Amino acid sequence: MATYKIEVDRDACISISNCVAIAPNVFQLDDEGKAYVVKTDGDLPETILEAAKSCPVDAIILKDEQGKQIWPEK
Q: Mean pLDDT over all residues of the chain?
A: 95
**CATH number for the domain that contains residue 27:** 3.30.70.20
Eight-state DSSP code of residue 35: E
Phi then psi dihedrals of residue 22, to 5 deg: -85, -40
- What pLDDT is attached to residue 3? 85
Structurally, how many domains does the chain consist of? 1
pLDDT > 70 in the chain, percent: 97
Q: How many CB atoms lie within 10 A of CB 23?
A: 25
Q: What is the pTM of this model?
A: 0.93
Q: Nearest Cα to 40, choosing from 26, 20, 54? A: 26
Burial track 5-20 (b if 16+ CB lie within 10 A, e otherwise): bbebeeeebeebbbbb
Range of the domain at 24: 5-71
* pLDDT class of 1 with cuts at 50, 70, 90: low
Where residue 39 falls among pLDDT bands split at 50, 70, 90? very high
